[in-house]
Structure 1
Amino acid sequence: MPFLKERGEGVRGALSWPFLRLYLLVLLYFSANSILNVIIPLRGESLGASNTMIGIIMGAYLFTTMFFRPWAGQMIQKHGPIKVLRIILIINGFALILYTFTGLEGYLFARILQGVSTAFFSMALQIGIIDALPEEDRSQGISLYSLFSYVPGILGPLLALGIWQTGDMNYFTVVMIVIAISTGLFGYSAKMDKNTDQPIASHTEQRVNMFTSFNQLVKNPFLFKCSVLMLTSSIIFGAITTFIPLYALQLKSGNAGIYLMLQAGTVVFARFTLRKKIPSDGKWHSSFIMGTMLVLAISAQCVSYSITGGPIFFYLGAILMGIAQALIYPTLTTYLTFVLPQVNRNVLLGLFIAMADLGVSLGGVIMGPLADLFSYSSVYMICAILAVTMVIFSYDRRKIFVEATTRACSKSS
């Protein structure tokens, strides 16, 4: 699966077969989560766990991922993505099998193992895609990676509800084992080669950057703005993922499987149809990002109001949430690939993606106690308010300054 330029023909496009193989691996890897996101809350409630405990178990996955992403970026830069990928798939397979014979304590440990695996897996795939594609195709590659990570969410929740309603967890065991084995076999055959036209930082520089780049979350204005937006958005995404299976039980006509299917289906459709609309020029497009955050705010409010307004608002919220998810992550990630310095770009991207992980984790950990104190509807209203604040935050009056600085950063890298 070479990504290298051959005879001056240029790097292949984001929809060529070598990249499609990577996207299919992403689909297989994230299939398990589309099922676990439904099974774990339902299983936890049946065992008497509180919303707080369910939130901690669900949040442990991406909370762990958050801590390992920067290290993953460094290790992948040093050893190459394919060597790391093969080891990680073994760990992931063990975690999936662990779910089949343990209780809540085992679920927590399995979520942590999954978090470690995902940190390295997603960084390996995304760094490989970013390094291989030309600048004008980066947004498409990142968007398609994210798209295929959401494809399992179309049918996975319905499959999970079907398994749960049968009352026979042996079906769950079989599905987890099949996913673990198929992902491992498919991933072991994957190959990735770095584009040799791009400069490579020395290992010494990478080690220094690893320990000094954390302060860039605040000092670098581009990384700071994108991280705050991603963190807040991910809190909302995390609250939706964690508690929708339980919130839907309180609605007269709400179905969590249909909601998650609509949301994931919208992400897939929007990511594919709008992938060329996502800015890929290294400039900050305030109106585009503000509009996306407004869609996120409306979607959260629709979900909150559905307890009174009914299923129309519930499912409308799913569609709008899917649109927001389809646009926010690839837009911010693509922008950062242009403005971050090349020498430690992978580590800084790892920190940014870690903010997304932290947000999803906090969506369960923080919103769980609030759901215990108030209600799920109140939690989603708080999420809508957070999104409105991000509409204001994403506006930047210094557009000319930002573009000028962006060009300077690109030249210096």
Structure 2
Amino acid sequence: MSGAMSWPFLRLYLLVLLYFSANSILNVLIPLQGEALGASNTTIGLIMGAYLFTTMFFRPWAGHIIEKHGPIKVLRIILIINGFALILYTFTGLGGYLVARMLQGVSTAFFSMALQIGIIDALPEKDRSQGISLYSLFSYIPGIIGPLLALGIWQGEMDYFTVVMIAIALFTGVFGYGAKMENGTVQPFKDNNEQRVSMFMSLGQLVKNPFLFKCSVLMLVSSVVFGAITTFIPLYAMQLTSGNAGIYLMLQAGTVVFARFTLRKKVPSDGKWHSSFIMGTMLLLAIAALCVSFATTGGAVFFYAGAILMGIAQALIYPTLTSYLSFVLPQVNRNVLLGLFIAMADLGVSLGSVIMGPMADIFSYSFMYMICAILGATMIIFAYDRRKIFVG
């Protein structure tokens, strides 16, 4: 195999799988444990949102630090930090969970930037979207089994939680320590002063650059929906007469994995803006959230249909927009601007936890997911653009 499926890239994807396996368990256990400890949806949302909010804050600077010290040295350090965070979960309460989520956020900012930008730089243009899709695919594979494993731990003995977290920390650290980014795989960033753009100036590009602005708004709003699903589905499912959170999250993650692999060659990778493709994806997102909202009256059919539709939307939105930006952003500060775009995805997931938590407290989970559906519907209109190419 060659290109995005060659062995050097497959090794990196396996590291991604190990790294994100803990989150597939924590995304279920933290809300359940938080509710058991008497926390409100607002508090649970703050703890869950702290992870990607911290990631968002550190991500724009990650590229510069990796450029200065090299990806391998940084990777080994962040795997140690990530391992400490996972072990912290095993002997602390809500306060410790918040600290651990923030440490995970710092680690993920550097981990994901090193691998994603490296994949984009190493692959030819025609394979970029495949590489990005496969990276995301392997980050979602743990979500197929993780939620069911988490529910098994929750319903059984929490002592197993300690064993699982320590095992994941050790396996990820050992596997990551031996990773190599050379021989045409991920190259160290060049020390180019022209790329050291002021972060404040780069932040202004979120509004000034029409390509970055459009993609960032779409990613931000979509991620708000994804964040609300990830955080509150374990608690919402407990209120339904039929429907299991583990099965829902397994279906959603399984659909993401299946769609990312089977549709990876269908994701546009030509530098053109495909309005109908992106509008259709946003329509899937809105319908998925609507199905989840209707699950209180419609039952498991709507609940699980929402999982499948949400998985398809999630599989397509991120690689499509990232691949498009890799073509149209200026080369001199592309990495920084890509970091800002990815930060918008992080911010959206975080806001999905932080903002939608109070909405669920004030109204209901069903009403909150209805709001998510309305947000998705507005993005169908926003995604339209009669121009096929933004750049000449």
Length-normalised TM-score, structure 1: 0.92
Equivalenced residue count is 392
Structure 1 counterpart of 2:387, from 393, 398, 403:
398
Match of 2:203 among 200, 208, 214: 214
**Match for residue 335 of structure 1?**
324
Aligned counterpart for 2:344 among listed residues 335, 355, 359:
355
1:128 offset after TM fit, Å?
1.2
Residue 68 of structure 1 is matched in structure 2 by: 58
Conservation of the 8 A alpha-carbon contact between 2:52 and 2:346 = yes
Deviation, 1:207, is 2.5
CA separation in 2, counterparts of 1:317 and 1:187?
35
Q: State the alpha-carbon separation in 2 of the partners of residues 237 and 291 from structure 1.
A: 17
- 1:397 deviates by 2.4
- 1:76 & 1:314 partners in 2: Cα distance? 42
2:68 to 71, 78, 82: 78
Query: What is the CA-CA distance between 1:202 and the residue it aligns to?
Result: 4.3
How far, CA to CA, are the matches of 2:52 and 2:190 in structure 1? 28
Q: Which structure 2 residue ranges, 5 or more long, are not aligned?
A: none
- Alignment correspondent of 1:378: 367
Structure 1 residue 257 corresponds to structure 2 residue 257:
no
**Residue in structure 2 matching 1:92, options 63, 67, 82:** 82
| Structure 1 residue identity aligned to 2:260 | R
Relative to structure 1, is the Cα distance of residues 197 and 357 closer, same or farther in structure 2, using a 3 angstrom cutoff? closer
Q: Which amino acid aligns with 2:205?
A: Q
Deviation digits for residues 15-63 of structure 1, max 9, x if unmatched?
A: 1111100000000000000000000000000000000000000000000
2:283 corresponds in structure 1 to: 294
Q: CA deviation at 1:90?
A: 0.4
Q: 2:144 aligns with which of 154, 161, 164?
A: 154
- In the superposition, the TM-score normalised over structure 2's length comes to 0.97
**Structure 2 CA distance for aligned equivalents of residues 308 and 105 of structure 1:** 36
2:54–2:105 CA contact under 8 A, matched in 1 = yes
Shift of 1:306: 0.7
Change (3 A) 1:75 1:197: closer
Letter in 1 for 2:121: D
Give the distance between the partners of 1:247 and 1:197, measured in 2 at CA.
42
Q: Deviations over 1:77-119 (max 9, x none)?
A: 3322212111100000000000000000000000000000000
1:224-244 Cα offsets, whole Å, 9 max, x none, are 000000000000000000000
1:228 matched to 2:221? The reply is no
Give me the whole-angstrom Cα distance separating, in 2, the residues matched to 1:249 and 1:197: 44
In 2, distance between residues paired with 1:61 and 1:372? 21
Q: What secondary structure sits across from 1:397 in the alignment?
A: coil
Q: Which amino acid counterpart does residue 215 of structure 2 have in structure 1?
A: C
The match for 1:165 among 107, 131, 155 is 155
Q: What secondary structure, in the 3-state scheme, does the structure 2 residue paired with 1:38 have? A: helix
Letter in 1 for 2:209: N
Q: Do structure 1's residue 59 and structure 2's residue 54 form an aligned pair?
A: no
Letter of the aligned partner of 2:176 in structure 1? G
CA distance in 2 between partners of 1:261 and 1:211 (Å): 40
Contact 1:237 1:363 in 2 (8 A): yes
Cα-to-partner distance string for 1:366-413 (whole Å, 9 max, x where unaligned): 00000000000001000000000000000012335x2xx1x4xxxxxx
Identity of aligned residues (%): 83
Native 8 Å contact 1:131 1:195 kept in 2: no
CA contact (8 A) 2:290 2:373 kept: yes
Q: What letter matches 2:277 in structure 1?
A: F
The one-letter amino acid paired with 1:152 is P
Task: Please say if residues 278 and 327 of structure 1, whose CA atoms lie closer than 8 Å, have aligned partners that are also in contact.
Answer: yes
Q: What amino acid maps onto 1:82 in structure 2?
A: I
Q: CA deviation at 1:217?
A: 0.5
Query: Is the contact made by 1:13 and 1:133 (CA closer than 8 Å) also made in structure 2?
Result: yes
Residue type of the partner of 1:158?
Answer: L
Q: Contact 1:131/1:194 (CA < 8 Å) preserved in 2?
A: no
Residues 12, 133 of structure 1: 8 Å contact kept: no
Pair 1:259–1:94, CA change in 2 (3 A): same
In structure 1, give the amino acid aligned to 2:39.
A
CA–CA distance in 1 between the matches of 2:276 and 2:288?
A: 18
Supply the distance in 1 between the matched residues of 2:189 and 2:50 (Cα, whole angstroms).
Answer: 34
Distance 1:305 1:347, change over 3 A: same
Distance 1:347 1:309 in 2: 45
Q: Deviations over 1:350-371 (max 9, x none)?
A: 1000000000000010000000
The residue that corresponds to 1:27 in the other structure is 17
* Residue 208 of structure 1, CA deviation: 2.7
State the SS of the aligned residue for 1:398.
Answer: coil
Of 321, 332, 335 in structure 2, the residue corresponding to residue 346 of structure 1 is: 335
The match for 1:7 is none
Q: Deviations over 1:248-273 (max 9, x none)?
A: 00111110000000000000000000
**SS in structure 1 at match of 2:5:** coil
Aligned to 1:13: 3
Distance 2:270 2:188 in 1: 20
Alignment deviations for residues 318-364 of structure 1 (CA, whole Å, 9 cap, x no partner): 00000000000000000000011111111111100000000000001
Q: Which string of whole-angstrom CA distances, capped at 9 and with x for unpartnered residues, describes residues 146-168 of structure 1?
A: 000000000000000000001x2
Residues 126-145 of structure 1: pairs in structure 2 closer than 5 A: 126-145=116-135
Cα distance, 1:205 vs. partner? 2.0
* Distance of 1:30 and 1:196 partners within structure 2: 21
CA separation in 2, counterparts of 1:30 and 1:285?
31
1:61 maps to amino acid: Y
1:411 is matched with which residue? none
